[in-house]
Amino acid sequence: MQYVMIASSIFSGLSQIQQASAQKSAYQYQAKVAEASASREALNYEIRATETLKKLRAANSANVARGFAGGVLGTEGSSLAIRDVNDRVAGVDYMRDIDNAALSLTMGQAQAKQLTSAGDIAFSSGVMGGLGTIGTGIYKYSTLGSEPAKKETKTT
């Protein structure tokens, strides 16, 4: 019966080590998902920034055409003032989207690093726990067959 208990301790320790490895892999997968999600979010911000520039170009082109159609230069005077306002407003939106894209990537990388560290810690602690359990089993094996400690009795 003692051999079964010893074998059980050793197999339990090995199982803990294997579980630690699986847990680390799960954290690594989550880290990759976090990075991919951040990249997708950053790409969406970049697409919005590009759309802002397309709308700006369309608005400014329409403004110039409207000026020329009205018999004035479309690149001077009130047409120029309207274009300047459009440029400023679109510039703010564009830069916000570009900044958000960079921030998304940074946050995704930070989350990935946290998850990777969590995986490393889970693996280390799992291996240590498993080795401790294996060590207990080995100690039990080494004590098999040895005589139990005798109690000394004093005679007075």
Instruction: Tell me if 152 is assigned to some domain.
Output: no
Structural domain including 12 reads 2-143
Instruction: Tell me if 151 is assigned to some domain.
Output: no
Instruction: Tell me if 100 is assigned to some domain.
Output: yes
The domain tally of the chain equals: 1
Residue 137 neighbours by CB under 8 Å, 6+ apart: 6, 7, 8, 9, 10, 12, 13
Give the tokens for residue 5: 């208990």
Instruction: Tell me if 154 is assigned to some domain.
Output: no
Model confidence, pTM: 0.70
Distance of CA 64 to the CA centre of its chain: 47
Instruction: Look at residue 151 in the predicted model and tell me its pLDDT.
Output: 63
| φ/ψ (deg, to 5) at 144 | -65, 135
Instruction: Tell me if 98 is assigned to some domain.
Output: yes
Instruction: Tell me if 50 is assigned to some domain.
Output: yes
Instruction: Look at residue 6 in the predicted model and tell me its pLDDT.
Output: 81
Q: b/e string for 77-100 if b means 16 or more Cβ within 10 A?
A: eebeebbeebeeebeebbeebbeb
Instruction: Tell me if 80 is assigned to some domain.
Output: yes
Instruction: Look at residue 10 in the predicted model and tell me its pLDDT.
Output: 86
- Tens digit of each residue's pLDDT, the chain (156 residues): 677 888 888 889 999 999 999 999 999 999 999 999 999 999 999 999 999 999 999 999 998 898 888 887 877 888 888 899 999 999 999 999 999 999 999 999 999 999 999 999 999 999 999 999 988 888 888 887 666 556 666 665
Instruction: Tell me if 150 is assigned to some domain.
Output: no
